Structure 1
Amino acid sequence: MISYHTRNAGDIAESAEEQFEVLRDACGFVPADVALMADSPALVNTFFSACGHFRDEGTFAPDEQQVLLLSNAVANRSEWAVAFHTMEALAEGVEPSAVEAIRQGMLPKNRRMAALSSFTQSVIELRGQVDEAEVAAFQAAGFTSAQVLEVITAVAISAMSNYVTNIARPPLEDAAVPHSWNARELTGF
């Protein structure tokens, strides 16, 4: 089991220090998943790189990114990540009813967000072995072939974060505590 502790500047992989400061400025803290990754320069730098490309070069809007990441957290049953991405999704303007549906393992009522959530969960649950009908349904909701591939990026980002927190079980940051979640809340799985 890896242990959780708050990282100080001296504990951070040198190549990741700038990213930690960006997170601290944006969130007011370094999220636990990233703090835990600091023990592995290969992991933390891969995570930061993937997140940067996903955020800066991807075509999903910020609210869609959060629907993806929250849906992945639920599919991976990552209690820390569900709380964190609930907080982030609400901050990005995702409808509270959509957030709650995803947290319960159900689909949002919004057709586009439902297709996004459903497709990314299928990619995780089927380990990428989705059939043509699932890809067609995703694209029928207005998503592109390139976005099919971007979903894989989100799944990879989530695997790094969710698996680290599933193993280490860090405490929630104060800002995420109101959004705590337990996998037993799933009704649609």
Structure 2
Amino acid sequence: MKTFNVPKRENVSDNNKEIFDNLEDKLGFVPNIFATYAYSDTALENYLNFSNAKTSLSAKEKEVVNLAVSQVNDCIYCLSAHTAIGKMNGFTDEQILELRSGSASFDKKLDALAQLAKNITENRGKTDEEVLENFFEQGYTNANLIDTISLVGDKTISNYVHRTTQVPVDFPEAQPLELETV
């Protein structure tokens, strides 16, 4: 398999150098996944604009979706990054593991969102009717649905970038999810 090195600042376009500088200022480093987008002169900016766009979902709700989708897509990079971000948004280690499995017994509304995100991802958009009904019964709106689908797409892009390139994970690595077998 081809090896993908993480691009360094001196190896990217001027536009991407500016984005690297902004990321360095905001985060203290340029995450390897973002640096990998910089192989393209346009993908990093396009992705960050999409990922940081306004949404009807709260930061906490976004992490619910990010964790469920990244688990379905088996992306250790995104699971590791969003475990760290989930903790910054107030989730415990146990809650994060549960969200990754597509549920949230600690919050009915977040449970409906986690189930929906998992279901959309597993079924490639052919959402089960009962999962969708539960989502709306918990108070979510059509706007929330569309924003959730957009976020599923956003996270799937990064999942695929990492799954294809296998660049090193530069966050504390997420622990494996041990699924119960019947």
- Same fold, judged at TM 0.5 (above): yes
CA contact (8 A) 1:2 1:167 kept: no
Asked if the contact 2:66/2:82 (under 8 Å) is kept, the reply is yes
In the TM superposition, residue 132 of structure 1 has moved relative to its aligned partner by 3.3
Secondary structure class of the residue paired with 2:83: helix
Tell me the residue number matched to 1:161. 158
Cα distance change, pair 77–144 in 1 and its aligned pair in 2 (3 A): same
Corresponding residue for residue 85 of structure 2: 88
| Alignment deviations for residues 116-152 of structure 1 (CA, whole Å, 9 cap, x no partner) | 1110111111111114332221111121111101112
- Partner residue in 2 for 1:123: 120
Give the deviation of 1:52 after TM superposition: 2.1
Q: Aligned-pair distance for 1:188?
A: 5.7
TM-score normalized by structure 1?
0.84
Task: Report 1:27-176 matches (<5 A).
Answer: 27-53=27-53, 57-103=54-100, 105-109=101-105, 110-173=107-170, 176=171
Which consecutive unaligned segments of at least 5 residues does structure 1 have?
none
Q: Which residue matches 1:20?
A: 20
Which of the pair is proportionally richer in helix? 1
TM-score by length of 2: 0.87
* Superimposed CA distance per residue, residues 35-87 of structure 1 (whole angstroms, 9 cap, x where no aligned partner): 1111123432331121121xxx1011111111111111101100111011000
Q: Is the 1:11–1:38 contact (alpha carbons within 8 Å) kept by the matching residues of 2?
A: no
Match of 1:4 in 2: 4
| Counterpart code for 2:41 | P
Amino acid aligned to 2:126: Q
* SS class of match (1:108): coil
Aligned partners of 1:18, 1:61: CA distance in 2, in Å? 28
**Structure 2 unpaired stretches of 5+:** none
- Cα 1:132–1:11 change in 2 (3 A) is same
CA-atom RMSD in angstroms: 2.1
Count of aligned pairs between the two proteins = 180
| Structure 1 position 106, deviation (Å) | 4.9
Within-5 A mapping of 1:173-188: 173=170, 176-177=171-172, 179-182=173-176, 185-187=177-179
SS of the residue aligned with 1:41?
Answer: coil
Listed one character per residue, the Cα deviations across residues 71-108 of structure 1 (whole Å, up to 9, x for unaligned) are 111011001110110001101112332102134x2512
Change (3 A) 1:18 1:95: same
